C-alpha cells in the first residue's frame, strides 16, 4: 500500500482562542466523513499510534452524544466526551469536547469536509475555547503528535 502523506497544519489563531487544523486526504468527502462517523472505522485511526481506543457510546447525529477512552499499554487512560450539535453528511460536524481529566474545560469543535475534486478532501478542524491560556495549554499538551499520527492512520484506513 502506498499512501502519499499530506502535511498537517496546526495554527493558533491570532485574534481568538481557537486552534485550526487543516489536512488534505486522498479520498472523497463521503469516505472521509464516514471514517469520522462510523465507530468501527473511527477506532482504527483516532489518536496516536500507541493508544487503544474504546468507545462507550458514539451516536453521531444532530442531537446525539459520545464518550470514548484512550488507553496505552503503560496504563495511561484518558476519557473524552461531548454532544453533537450538528451533523451534515459529507459536509460538517459541530460538536462539543471535554477531556474528563479537566472536566470544566469545554471546546466547541467544527470539522468541515471540503471537496477538492479528483477524489481529494480538505479537512478543516477548529477548536474554540474561552481563554487563550486554555488554548495554549491544549497546544502545549502534546496534542500535535496525536493529531499528526491519527491522520497518518486515517490515510491508511482510507487506502484500505
39 or 64: CB nearest its own copies = 64
Are the CB atoms for 67 and 80 separated by under 8 Å? yes
Among 45, 80, 84, 151, indicate the residue that binds its own copies (CB under 8 A).
84
Among 24, 51, 121, 126, indicate the residue that binds its own copies (CB under 8 A).
126
The Cα–Cα gap between 23 and 50 comes to 21
Among 17, 28, 29, 150, indicate the residue that binds its own copies (CB under 8 A).
17
24 contacts its own copies (rule: CB under 8 A)? no
Q: Cβ contacts of residue 73 below 8 Å, gap of 6+?
A: 50
And the C-alpha cell for 50?
500507541
83 contacts its own copies (rule: CB under 8 A)? yes
132 contacts its own copies (rule: CB under 8 A)? yes
Are the CB atoms for 35 and 157 separated by under 8 Å? yes
Applying CB under 8 A, the site for its own copies has a residue count of: 24
Q: Cβ contacts of residue 74 below 8 Å, gap of 6+?
A: none
> Residues interacting with its own copies, by CB under 8 A?
15-18, 62-65, 82-86, 94, 96, 98, 106, 108, 110, 126, 128, 130-132
Amino acid at each position: 500500500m502506498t499512501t502519499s502523506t499530506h502535511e498537517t497544519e496546526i495554527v493558533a489563531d491570532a485574534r481568538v482562542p481557537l486552534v485550526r487544523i487543516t489536512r488534505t486526504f486522498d479520498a472523497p468527502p463521503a469516505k472521509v466523513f464516514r471514517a469520522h462517523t462510523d465507530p468501527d472505522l473511527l477506532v482504527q485511526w483516532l489518536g496516536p499510534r500507541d493508544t487503544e481506543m474504546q468507545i462507550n457510546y458514539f451516536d453521531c447525529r444532530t442531537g446525539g452524544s459520545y464518550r470514548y477512552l484512550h488507553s496505552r499499554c503503560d496504563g495511561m487512560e484518558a476519557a473524552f466526551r461531548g454532544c453533537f450539535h450538528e451533523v451534515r453528511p459529507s459536509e460538517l460536524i459541530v460538536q462539543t469536547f471535554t477531556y474528563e481529566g479537566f472536566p470544566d474545560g469545554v471546546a466547541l469543535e467544527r470539522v468541515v469536509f471540503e471537496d477538492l475534486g479528483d477524489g481529494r478532501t480538505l479537512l478543516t478542524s477548529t477548536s474554540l475555547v474561552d481563554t487563550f491560556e486554555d488554548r495554549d495549554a491544549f497546544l502545549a499538551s502534546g496534542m500535535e503528535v496525536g493529531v499528526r499520527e491519527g491522520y497518518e492512520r486515517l490515510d491508511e484506513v482510507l487506502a484500505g
